[in-house]
Structure 1
Amino acid sequence: MDREIRLIHTADTHIGYRQYHSDVRRRDFLEAFEKVIDDAIDMKVDAVIHAGDLFDSRNPTLEDILETIQIMSKLKMAEIPLLGIVGNHESKQQTQWLDLLENMRLVRRLGNSPFMAGKIAIYGIDSIPRPKIQSFDYSVFETTGEATHNILVMHQLMKPFPFGEWDVAEVIHSFPCALDAILLGDYHKYEKTKVENTWVTYCGSTERNSAAEEEPRGYNIITVSQKGIDIGRRQINTREFLHIVVDIKDENDAYRDIFNTIREYDVKDKVVFIELKGNSQADIAYSEIEEFLDKQEVLVSRISDLRNNYPDETENQPEIIFSDPDIAAREEIKKMDLTDAGLLIDEIIRDLSIPKTTIDHKTENSIATMIEQLDFSQEIPLNIHRKKQVETTRKEEPPQNKETVFVEKGEDKKSQPSRKKKKETDAVDKDVEKKPQKTKVPRQYNLGDYL
């Protein structure tokens, strides 16, 4: 190849995540992504590759979108391409956020046709639901003979890494051209290994998505030269997550042990996790500790009581049994008393063999076919549940109020009904003479009644 090519590999930026319901943490995720972009411009890399989950949600706020566009615009002005795939967090049914950003010429969405960075062909596979992995079609990729190296970008949990659902070796053997590297997203921890002759790496997330992510955050630097592929690493300075273990020894003054231990640390503007340990059974109010941490200007605090002799709150808890989700869903659907159309839509939505992108089209066609087959001249029988509803409604109807009879002074109440009955009889006779007899009007139905 003519010259050395440098690429930044990042992923799982999760922009828009309001971790711990904190808007400051939301800003942290955005700023971590901005640091990657600023580094890319300073290093003058050839491209930035984002391996999925740019946004934390498929419905990011307008504020998150606008701020992301502003950051991406820096790369565009520096003429550094941003390449991306769709992650599972941001995946929508049809048009993706990457499509919008691509139309604005801020991002190039990777796919079956390679993006050429010099003589390096870069392909992409969006996040795929687990049931569809086995049926994935590798023949859709368009290979090129001009490439000296081939790189595939994926957002998936892959074997041989933890929680793997898709075997890297299968991808390497099935892909229509030899792969020199597979750049991954979805797993938030940095990993790097070699499977046969192919480098496989996770770059990790740019911010901590949970307290378990203790390792420093960062991104990968991929260098491609005549010597081959080298994978380096650069860390990002992010907000510190501080874990403080408090060993409570003083039974009579537990708060003193807690507060003195916390004072040993610089907790200002940090996310702090307090773990209470020891054999003390003293009652401790979390609110007292949180109030003390607030005075120390902690950003977020979380407290857990892990004392050995602390009463087990789960002793009297009821046993929880987890049933099969599909069976539980079917039982709940029975209670909902859905119409035939409702049951049809539910069946389509929960059918894993139907691609997400075709659900709307499939539903529309199925409902249209159902409407064509309906006989609108037939009366619609009520199902059992609706019959019960009608019967209950009838039972709850208040009895008709009888007309109040006013009795004049000196009159006997017993004589009054006969006078009233005579008046009613005369009125009915007159109505029969004046009003023609009404014909029975058939019940009117809406389209929703048939469906």
Structure 2
Amino acid sequence: MTKVIHTGDTHLGYRQYHSPDRRQDFFDAFRRVVEDAIADDVDAVVHAGDLYHDRTPGLEDLMGTIDVLRPLSEADIPFLAVVGNHEGTRHAQWLDLFERLGLAERLDADGRRVGDTVFYGLDHVPKSKRDRLDYEFAARDATHTALVSHGLFQPFPHGDWDLEEVLAESNVAFDAVLLGDDHTADTVRLDGTWATYCGSTERASASERDPRGYNVVEFDPEEKANADAGEETGTGVHIRRRGIDTRDFVFIDLELGESEGAERVRQRIREEDVEDAVVVVTIDGEGGEVTPADVERFGDEQGALVTRVTDRREVDVEADYEVSFADPDEAVRERVRDLGLSEAARGIDDTVRQGDVADSNVRDTVKERVSDLVDDGDLAAFEAAAQDAGNEGGVEVAGDDGERAETGDSDAPADAVSEPAETDDATTTTMEDYL
């Protein structure tokens, strides 16, 4: 029997809401995972990427991580990990440093045997480079095999990396795929292979309402040997979710009537135990003379650590501009369309404002997009939009459906960052080129 803790997306060093207390919360959550691993005497802790929030963690964060990992090493429990998108893969990583210190091991295509299970690693790979991967792994004699990777995989929500294709093209038949990047815990089975996200250990955005935790994964060789289809992948793999205590987030959703306002909001906050909690207030409806500053003050009065406000009320302004606060981004989009921005600039603008990128990921997503374009030599993406005789304003104009008006060179969405063309169709890049 091989028993491991599968965790990831710990985002150490993140000063969420500019709060030093929240930075400590992320370390405390990770420490609880390590303490549980020692108490349960597991065979390994498997980390699926994004140990740090920033690609260049500070010395204080590095030293704090050493303090957390040292007891794990003293208990002779290996810490096996891959690199996530927040760390990047262009240079030496935090994991390489901890490996030299004897505190961690970086998983790769060669695999690492733990008991009767071999764990392989696949670091995060940008979308523009994935078509050159060959998914070749070293063959190892073991009852079970598991792949550890970081990315948003289909068929999970928001996935853009086809996990079924990865499994089909791999030369190893994996029993389980242990994933990181999606902060929501979820598990599916694909043609006999278990695929699971462990979720984040702390809430990195206000959209993460579910309790935090990690996975406990057991590989039972006896069960697989005794099964009627003993060679079937996924047999003898058991995944269960375990929660951890983290700082309370109190979510207050309000719909205010025309006659309701500040006092109604104050009352709702008083009804909740918000002391030392992160309070997230969402306001809908048509009424209420209450501002976000008022709500933050109400939270402070009740001892909240942080109070965040999302005001979704629709307020019409009687002016010549026909602006509705229900969708201020549309006014920005109209102005952006007239600026003649480069392809890269439009992609950055969309990333900053789009709702499907968590606040904690915006900066790193922008950095990754720009770095990918530079690394691939796609400098044309940084040139201003070309003049067009059929376009009165001399720039590309996106229609209401988000598609670019005809300019003669592309029919891609106006807010997309173009994928660089390959210079050599015959080139095959192995995973080692990205490690």
Could you tell me how far apart the structure 2 residues matched to 1:113 and 1:138 are? 12
Alignment-derived partner of residue 195 in structure 1: 190
In the alignment, structure 1 residue 182 sits paired with structure 2 residue 177 = yes
Name the counterpart of 1:437: none
Deviation at 1:324, TM superposition (A): 7.0
Quote the Cα distance in structure 1 between the aligned partners of 2:372 and 2:266: 53
2:87 aligned with 1:90: yes
Is the Cα contact below 8 Å between 2:83 and 2:89 reproduced in 1? no
Q: Which residue does the alignment assign to 1:350?
A: 373
| Inter-partner Cα distance in structure 2 for 1:236 and 1:325 | 45
Shift of 1:327: 6.2
SS at structure 2 position matched to 1:59: coil
Task: Return 5+ residue gaps in structure 1 as ranges.
Answer: 330-346, 355-451
CA drift of 1:306 comes to 2.9
1:270 matched to 2:246? no
CA distance in 1, matches of 2:276, 2:95: 34
Residue of 195, 212, 234 corresponding to 1:217: 212
Compared CA separation, residues 166 and 257, structure 1 to 2 (3 A): closer
Q: How far does residue 351 in structure 1 lie from its aligned partner after superposition?
A: 4.8
Does the 8 Å CA contact 1:203/1:218 hold for their aligned counterparts?
Answer: yes
Instruction: Tell me how far 1:247 sits from its aligned partner.
Output: 4.2
Gap change, CA 1:292 and 1:121, over 3 Å in 2: same
Matched ranges for 1:283-362 at <5 A: 283-308=289-314, 311=317, 312-313=324-325, 317=331, 319-321=334-336, 325-326=342-343, 328=345, 350-353=373-376
SS in structure 2 at match of 1:221? strand
What are the superposed Cα offsets for residues 290-332 of structure 1, whole Å, 9 maximum, x if unpaired?
2222121101111233335565336794523357753659xxx
Counterpart residue identity of residue 41, structure 1: I
Q: Evaluate the alpha carbon distance shift between residue 135 and residue 250 of structure 1 in structure 2; reply closer, same or farther with a 3 A threshold.
A: closer
In 2, distance between residues paired with 1:114 and 1:250?
62
Query: Secondary structure in 1 aligned to 2:201?
Result: coil
Matched, 1:143 2:160: no
Kept in 2, the 8 Å contact 1:269–1:298? The answer is yes
| Aligned equivalents of 1:305, 1:21: Cα separation in 2 | 21
AA in 2 matched with 1:164? G
Describe the SS at the equivalent of 1:133. Answer: helix
RMSD: 2.5
Name the residue aligned to 2:426: none
Q: What TM-score comes out, normalization by structure 1 length?
A: 0.69
Shift of 1:246: 3.4
In structure 1, the residue matched to 2:27 is 30
Gaps of 5+ in 2: 224-235, 318-323, 347-369, 378-435
- In the alignment, the residues of structure 1 paired with residue 276 and residue 316 of structure 2 have an alpha-carbon distance, to the nearest angstrom, of 31
My pick for the range that moved more, 101-110 or 176-185, is 176-185
| Letter matched to residue 261 of structure 2 | A
Q: Tell me: CA distance 1:190–1:272, structure 2 relative to 1, closer, same or farther (3 Å).
A: same
Give the structure, 1 or 2, with the largest relative contact order (CA under 8 Å, sep 6 or more): 2
Residue aligning to 1:257 = 264
Deviation (angstroms), 1:250: 7.1
Write out the 4+ residue segments of structure 1 that deviate beyond 4 Å after TM superposition. Answer: 308-311, 314-318, 322-325, 351-354
1:247–1:133 distance in 2 versus 1, CA, 3 Å: closer
Letter paired with 1:350: L
* Match for residue 235 of structure 1 among 224, 243, 252: 243
Letter in 2 for 1:114: G
Counterpart secondary structure, 1:171 = helix
For the 8 Å contact 2:269–2:298, the answer to whether it is kept is no
What is the alpha-carbon distance in structure 2 between the residues aligned to residue 274 and residue 163 of structure 1? 26
Indicate how the Cα distance of structure 1 residues 348 and 14 shifts in structure 2: closer, same or farther if over 3 A, else same: closer
Aligned residues: 332
Q: Do residues 78 (structure 1) and 75 (structure 2) align? A: yes
Q: Distance in 2 between matches of 1:137 and 1:206?
A: 32
Question: Helix, strand or coil for the counterpart of 2:336?
Answer: coil
Within 1, Cα distance between the matches of 2:149 and 2:81?
A: 10
Question: Counterpart of 1:241 in structure 2: which amino acid?
Answer: F
Report if aligned partners of 1:279, 1:310 keep a CA contact under 8 Å in 2: no
Distance 1:327 1:260 in 2: 47
Is 1:246–1:257's contact at 8 Å kept on the other side of the alignment? Answer: no
Aligned residue for 2:53? 56
TM-superposition CA deviations, 1:196-226 (whole Å, max 9, x none): 0211111111111111111111111111112
Normalising by structure 2, we get a TM-score of 0.71
1:284 corresponds to which letter in structure 2?
Answer: V
What is the rounded CA distance, in whole Å, between the counterparts of 1:349 and 1:247 in structure 2? 43
Check the 8 A contact 1:242/1:273 in 2, yes or no.
Answer: yes
Query: Secondary structure at 1:138's aligned position in 2?
Result: coil
Q: Is this contact kept in 1: 2:295–2:307, CA < 8 A?
A: no
Kindly provide the amino acid, as one letter, of the partner of residue 293 in structure 1.
G
Q: Could you say which structure has the higher helix fraction?
A: 1
* Separation in 1, partners of 2:143, 2:312: 56
Moved more, 269-278 or 4-13: 269-278
Q: CA deviation at 1:275?
A: 2.5
Superimposed CA distance per residue, residues 346-375 of structure 1 (whole angstroms, 9 cap, x where no aligned partner): x99735547xxxxxxxxxxxxxxxxxxxxx
The answer to whether the 8 Å contact 1:46/1:117 transfers is yes
1:246 is aligned to 2:254: yes
